[in-house]
Structure 1
Amino acid sequence: MLTFTAPSHPADRIRRMSIDSERPGPLLQIRPGTAPRVAIVSASYGAGHNSASREISRALGGAGCDVEIFDFVDLMPWRLGRALKVGYKMQLRISPDSWGTTMSLTMPGRPFHEPFTRLLRLSTANIVEAVRGADLIISTHPFSSQVIGHLRTTGAVTVPTVTYLTDAAVPALWIHPGIDLNLAIHEVAAREARALGGSTAVVQPLVPPGAAYVPGKTFPDPLAGLGLIGPRALVTGGSLGAGALEQTARDILEHSDMTPVVLCATDPCLKRRLERIPGVVALGWRTDVRALMATSDCVVQNAGGFTSLEALASGTPVITYRSISGHGAANSVNLDRAGLVPWARDEIELAKHLVVAADSPRFNRLALGVPDIVGILTGTRDATAVA
């Protein structure tokens, strides 16, 4: 069971944890012969949040916890979660640049924030039932964080709550004062979360087993049958194939000697369009992305999501280009500031970064000197302080 003492008022807890964030108290206690229950609430608006949830489950399950993952999409009543999901996917495919405007309108202080959060809170009863009996609740999506933070503040949830910030940037919708601890994947994101009032620690980013670069390890080339000659750039827009991937492929063709290999993911229309462009390799949904990364000279991404973390871990140089608006642009800024992924803002900068990437050494580019999630939650390793 957990050992956690909550202050009498949420504001007191926030102030105390801000002051004492260098030593966040243990939120999880694992004893021999016990299996604390951890409830993870994700949201399948894009695959990255679910991927992070699986890796959290893997890490905590391996430490002896009983972990269950819930999808916020299914916890919304009257199929509202699925309606939001369909709308999100359609918007990113039809008008990806409008997503930033939509997201900004739902931020705290903006016109649609209160109506939107009230809409999200329609999931309250289902979430309370889902997490009943849990010793710790972890959210991996801002929608669920808003609801769980509200439940924590009102006392409907009495166990510790954690948000795992899957993005490199932290819009205000991610942070709720009722959440006990936010986990950020690098210090730039952690500072943003702290500035928004969230108690935050830096955690070692979670990626799937086998994703990390191992010196000397090689992968069979998944595209060996295509007879490709010369360097190649793997282009990704995440699990939805979102953003200006077609124009990105054309720019790589025009401004470099690399072959653009585009992951079209779940967008068959994009794949058909790209197949008509000479020199472009268009791929659908793939399960061998790790091998594709390893056999590419660089990865060109536009959203800064979970795929970017996998690419950074793989050792393959990563470049941001034509980032999608909203979270994509914000992630691009922070990944650049953190020194993790350079942001090419035009074709000339893209050309320069592609040249540099072709000659860059391979190494795991993710931070490895910070505590892992088990260490932070159990207090067995000191959390990295963030000023």
Structure 2
Amino acid sequence: MPHPDSPTRVTVISASMGAGHDGAATELTRHLTAAGFLVDRHDFLDLLPARAGKLLSGAYLRLLTWAPAGYQRIYAATEHERRPNPAVRALLRGAERRTLATVTPDTRAVVSTYPGASQVLGALRLRGRLAIPALTYLTDFSVHSLWVAPGIDAHLAAHAIPAAQAHEQGAAGVTVTGPMTDPRFTPADEDERRAARTRFGLPQDTPLVLLVAGSWGVGPVREAAAEILDTGVALPVVVCGRNHALAERLRADGVAHVHGWVDDMPGLMHACDALVQNAGGLTSLEALAGGLPVVSYRCIPGHGRTNAAALDEAGLAPWIREPDQLAPTLTELLHGPRGRAQREAGLALHASAPGPVPAVTAMVRRPLPAARPSSTGMPVESPMAGVVPAQRRRIAARQTVPGRRADADRPVMPGRPGAARSGAESRRARRRTVLMMAAVAATVSLGIGAPLAYAYGDSPGHHFGALTHYLEDDDR
């Protein structure tokens, strides 16, 4: 237990899958630090075995680029599943040891902004290996089943719609905390608008629509830019993130205002009159905080479409599904009462709740439980610190469990002291090696093969069934 006068330590785990999860983690870290917490940040992709995180990120990007229909099919097929498939479970289990290592003995809570990390933390909580609260901050406006992990103590949502979706899928401790954005995202007055346009070399007296596609610049961005230009309602200002090839193609298409990665995104939003987005992530919330009306158009598959539907349902951003609706909708947002109403709704969203810090604070102040049920329903003794120390785990592994003999009772071969124990350690080592190999295979399968298999009617889960059964039989 930390000294009562010392700052409370919280661990935040994100993932560099694009910039949305990291952006939410950055803001969460800033808010927690301002409230007096000490915060440790970790990237979940670094916690996966055998460098699987880099493979997973790259495969996901290629999937969105090369096989968007396949990604849509797997997203729809798994959107409401109660449990990840065996390949995903095998991959995530390989991250448990490193995830535990991120939690120091004085840490009082762990907050995840990435669903894979939440699944690992929930599993550790259920098995009694993580004794401090684990929370999930839902970065999307819609909730895929992977976000809802049994064992997680609280799920924090920016709005009532994702909160209701999480609750329907069985999430624990669902709380509407409101969104988090950088305080620089604020409405601009006329002088700030003109200064921003001058800085970015934009025309002063022309309506401008900011077109964004995330840090990776994925989706049919060129089509959207051309169609905005063809409406004659406004000029597109396109942000391509780190997709340099896309920026070059847009310039070749004749789009005059194209940017790569933009450090001063608040300033660029000050220069524009509306935002067109295709993923419904953090940038949409930033635009709403800045008083920009937002529209969803030509959305990427999966979470891009479900986020667009949720934002539309909330009255925060219309989802344009047909190109012939683009011009009239932009006209209403730029010049009509609909635009004023959406600006007010976006600002009201950010004023509706104080953010997640009070919820984290309340969870941290709860006393640690004396015992927590395991995944089998039997009580598990909670350790004094946030995780079970390595030495205590080794002692526990040698204790007698039903159906097995303690190490002290096991026969030892003459001339080979500890042979039985060495054999058990060898089996565990082999399983760890196989697990790392399975993680790489599962990553590739989930990144490319699994969506295509779903697309053509073949489930990838059975390919990993026997292997996962073998891995999950490991006694921990």
In the superposition, the TM-score normalised over structure 1's length comes to: 0.85
Moved more, 252-261 or 194-203: 252-261
Distance of aligned partners of 1:138 and 1:111 in 2 relative to their CA distance in 1, 3 Å threshold: closer
For residue 46 of structure 1, report the CA deviation from its aligned partner: 1.0
2:70 corresponds, among 98, 113, 117, to 98
Partner of 1:212: 186
Deviation string 1:158-188 (CA, Å, 9 cap, x unpaired) is 1111000000000101001210000011001
Per-residue deviation at 1:338? Answer: 0.9
Give 1:75's match in structure 2, choosing from 47, 59, 65: 47
Q: Which of 274, 290, 295 matches 1:314?
A: 290
**Cα 1:125–1:54 shift into 2, 3 Å:** same
Is the 1:202–1:371 Cα contact (8 Å) retained in structure 2?
A: no
In the alignment, residue 185 of structure 1 is paired with which amino acid?
A: A
Distance 1:204 1:153 in 2: 28
Residue of structure 2 equivalent to 1:283: 259
Q: Is the 8 A contact 2:100 2:130 kept in 1?
A: yes
* Aligned twin of 2:164: 191
**Alignment check: 8 A CA contact 2:202 2:257 kept:** no
Map 1:55-134 onto structure 2 (within 5 A): 55-104=27-76, 109=81, 113-133=85-105, 134=107
Aligned counterpart in structure 2 of residue 201 of structure 1, from 175, 178, 184: 175
Q: Indicate the SS of the match to 1:239.
A: coil
Are residues 108 and 348 of structure 1, via their aligned partners in 2, closer, same or farther at CA, if it must alter by over 3 Å? closer
Distance (Å, rounded) in 1 between the aligned partners of 2:161 and 2:258: 34
Matching of residue 161 in structure 1 with residue 161 in structure 2: no
Amino acid at match of 2:104: R
The 3-state SS of whatever aligns with 2:229 is helix
1:377/1:145 CA distance change after superposition, 3 Å: same
Aligned partners of 1:105 and 1:113 also within 8 Å: no
Task: Flag the structure with larger Rg.
Answer: 2
Query: Equivalents in 2 of 1:107, 1:356: separation in Å?
Result: 34
**In the alignment, residue 327 of structure 1 is paired with which amino acid?**
H
Q: Quick check: 1:230–1:258 contact (8 Å CA) kept in 2?
A: yes
Following superposition, the deviation at residue 100 of structure 1 comes to: 2.1
Aligned to 1:145: 118
- Structure 1 window deviating more from structure 2 (73-82 vs 361-370): it is 361-370
Structure 1: state its 5+ residue gaps: 3-29, 381-387
Greater fraction of residues in helix: 2
Q: Which residue of 1 aligns with 2:352?
A: 369
Counterparts of 1:275-354 in structure 2, within 5 Å, are: 275-354=251-330
State the identity as a percent: 37
Mapped contact 2:240–2:259 kept (Cα < 8 A): yes
Deviation at 1:371, TM superposition (A): 3.4
- After superposition, the CA RMSD in angstroms is 2.2
Structure 1 residue 54 displacement after superposition: 0.9
Unaligned runs of 5+ in 2: 364-476
Distance 1:227 1:210, change over 3 A: closer
Match of 2:226 among 250, 253, 257: 250
Contact between 2:225 and 2:255, CA under 8 Å: does it hold in 1? no
Q: Measure the CA separation in 2 of the matches of 1:99 and 1:194.
A: 25
Alignment pair present for 1:235 and 2:211:
yes
User: 3-state DSSP class of the match of 2:31?
Assistant: helix
**Matched position secondary structure for 1:355:** helix
- The code of the aligned residue for 1:160 comes to P
1:248-287 C-alpha deviation (Å, 9 max, x unpaired): 0111112232111111111111111110123442211111
1:274–1:281 contact (8 Å) kept in structure 2: no
Q: Give the Cα–Cα distance (whole angstroms) in 2 for the partners of residues 97 and 309 of structure 1.
A: 27
Show CA shifts across 1:305-354 (max 9, x none).
11111111110111000111100000001011111111111122221220
